[in-house]
Amino acid sequence: MKNNQIISQNNNFAGWYTSVIKEAKLAMYGSVKGTICFMPNGWAIWQNIVKIIDDEFQKIGVKNVQLPVFMKQSDFLKEKEHVKNFSPETFVAKAPNSSEVLIVRPTSEIAFCHCFKQLVGSYNDLPLLLNQWCNTFRVEKNTRPFLRTSEFYWQELHTLHSDEQQARSQALKSLEIYKKVLKDKLLIPFIAGRKTDGEKFAGAVDSYTLEALMPDGQALQCSTSHYLGQNFAKAYNLKFQTKNNDYQYCYQTSAGLSTRIIGALIMTHSDDNGLVLPFSIAPIQIGIVVLNDKTDKNTKNYVKKVCQNLIKKYRVVIDNNNKSIGYKINNFQVQGTPFVLVIGANEVMNKQVTIIRRDSNEKKVVTAAKFAPCLKKCIEHYDLDLYNKAKLRMSVNIVQVKNFQEFKQAINAKKMVKAYFKLSSVNEQKIKEMTGATTRCIIENQPANKCFYSGQETTDVVYFARAY
């Protein structure tokens, strides 16, 4: 059942993306340029992701706080690298009849420093792991729903430590949480690595990233984790009393994942019939279409029986609308509902259920007795297939190159490139200007080999791509 409102992905990828968002009722444009209104389906996806990540954070002792959107401009100006990078992207606000310029948060390192200063006295108070789920604001020239918006939602985890080793280890631990969520729940394959100095977070010592590859050959940075060292602590005079009763600057990390991940989800899994979603993320996991007379007593009882256990375990919606079968099935499918159960006269009579899978459109008729274990298996296969399909596509679209000629060919063919690269901000910049490709991340400590660009020997393998 093809939904004709969805533009073909092959003909027009950007148009396809926008049409999926519209038809799946995920978001609409806000009245101010670059903003979006999350509609119930879009917001529910985000809330499902929030729950999964928040549960992981709780396990490692993270506490949630909520800090103000507004910051003092004078506070904001203290960390120089941070300011240089964020200033052009920052909205400012003011109250009527006031001359005070307020910074509208583009990220909250500074607001967290303000809190940390009041929370931390001695080493006994460390480590401190605080997170917030919030809206964040950046001025953007080219905006696209979820991928790049003036206002977006995210979590920002900010941690404070008494020594470098512990902080460095936290930065990697935060990344591990994102890896787990992306692989097991969002089913998005990725390359994990460190950012180059040119691409790292402004104010960080080291930035780590998970980079996914979209079907159009563009990379998408899914989440990042930063080891901040003592950069912010020194700028904001953030110290703690050590066991020896002297004072030392704290070590910090921050890590974030934003609503941009919804863009990655859409592009990774969806097709020309609309949205496809991992099972645990879908706002409606199982849609039920009842075909014959709903007032018929046998039908009513049978539907009730099929549903009663489902409703306890899954997010289930029964479509009681008077529309056609095809319309009802398609309506669930375009919104990314992983499984549609069809219950018609035959199913009622034979005590069966027809299960339709969203991704493959595969139909399976099962008896009521075998329905529960069969559905469970279907769900496992569904998630596994989604992941494997995306993983295969990623791997065939990564090309290893040995020289700049091969590099240009690969980038022009919309591939992600993997190459030995001797780290150099100058060469990185040149490559970007010539090809539009940026370094996505570094995989360090590989067997030594020659840089594809400079010919110098290096142990760093670097991934390059054009990027969202």
Minimal distance, residue 454 CB to a copy of itself, in Å: 37
Q: Which residues contact 81 (CB under 8 A, 6 or more apart)?
A: 202, 203, 231
What is the b/e burial string over 220-244, where b = at least 16 CB atoms within 10 angstroms of the residue's CB?
Answer: bbbbbbbbbbbbbbebbebbbbeee
8 Å CB contact between 207 and 196: no
Smaller CB separation from a copy of itself, 41 or 299: 41
Which residues share a beta bridge with 419?
462
Smaller CB separation from a copy of itself, 214 or 277: 277
Minimal distance, residue 97 CB to a copy of itself, in Å: 8
Minimal distance, residue 104 CB to a copy of itself, in Å: 6
Smaller CB separation from a copy of itself, 60 or 65: 65
Footprint of a copy of itself (CB under 8 A): 28, 30-32, 35-40, 43-44, 46-47, 63-72, 75, 87-88, 90-96, 98, 102, 104, 111, 114-115, 118, 130, 134-135, 137, 139, 150-151, 153
Smaller CB separation from a copy of itself, 139 or 398: 139
Burial class from Cβ neighbours inside 10 Å (0-12, 13-18, 19+) for residue 11 reads exposed
Residues 362, 382: Cα–Cα separation, whole Å:
11
Smaller CB separation from a copy of itself, 243 or 297: 243
Peptide bond into 127 cis (omega under 30): yes
Minimal distance, residue 266 CB to a copy of itself, in Å: 17
Minimal distance, residue 119 CB to a copy of itself, in Å: 8
Smaller CB separation from a copy of itself, 32 or 426: 32
Minimal distance, residue 54 CB to a copy of itself, in Å: 10
8 Å CB contact between 128 and 96: no
Q: Which helix (H) or strand (E) holds 152?
A: strand 151-161
The three-state secondary structure class of 262 is helix
Report the half-sphere exposure of 37 (CA within 13 A, side-chain side): 9
Minimal distance, residue 259 CB to a copy of itself, in Å: 9
- In 10 A of CB 344, how many CB atoms? 16
8 Å CB contact between 76 and 91: no
300-307: long-range contacts, CB 8 A cutoff, minimum separation 24: 302/343, 302/347, 302/348, 302/351, 303/343, 305/368, 306/341, 306/343, 306/353, 306/368, 306/371
Minimal distance, residue 282 CB to a copy of itself, in Å: 16
